[in-house]
Amino acid sequence: EAGVAQSPRYKIIEKRQSVAFWCNPISGHATLYWYQQILGQGPKLLIQFQNNGVVDDSQLPKDRFSAERLKGVDSTLKIQPAKLEDSAVYLCASSSRRGFNEQFFGPGTRLTVL
């Protein structure tokens, strides 16, 4: 069974630029999560999808961050414009359904904003 795929693995941009991250969850997994992990901290949930609908985006900075999962499979997370404090690892995870089921994580995208 293929795991959660993310790309790119690394990205370096200047502040005020835009960036997008892509995630392909495990086949058949209905629930998809995007997390932000700042160095020295645990992951912080940004947004949770159930199929192609948003379940929870309460911690997503909506003035600059957006995410979509149009067909209920792949997802993209965008930052526009980026700030220095957005430097972090962005993790995508999926689980078979909502609830406290095991979340399977991708390797993450390390973003550096200069």
- How many other C-beta atoms are found inside a 10 Å radius of the C-beta of residue 62? 10
Q: How far is the CB of 85 from other proteins (least distance, A)?
A: 17
CA 98 – CA 65 distance, rounded (Å): 23
Q: How far is the CB of 64 from other proteins (least distance, A)?
A: 21
| Binding residue (CB under 8 A) for other proteins from 32, 46, 82, 91 | 91
SS3 letters across 50-103: ECCEEEECCCCCCCCEEEECCCCCCEEEEECCCCHHHCEEEEEEEECCCCCCCC
| Binding residue (CB under 8 A) for other proteins from 13, 20, 26, 45 | 45
Give the torsion sign (CA, 8, 12, 15, 16).
negative
| Binding residue (CB under 8 A) for other proteins from 14, 27, 70, 100 | 100
Of 11-19, 22-30, 36-44, 66-74: span binding other proteins (CB under 8 A): 36-44
What are the residues binding other proteins (CB under 8 A)?
3-4, 40-45, 48, 55-56, 91, 93, 98-100, 102-108
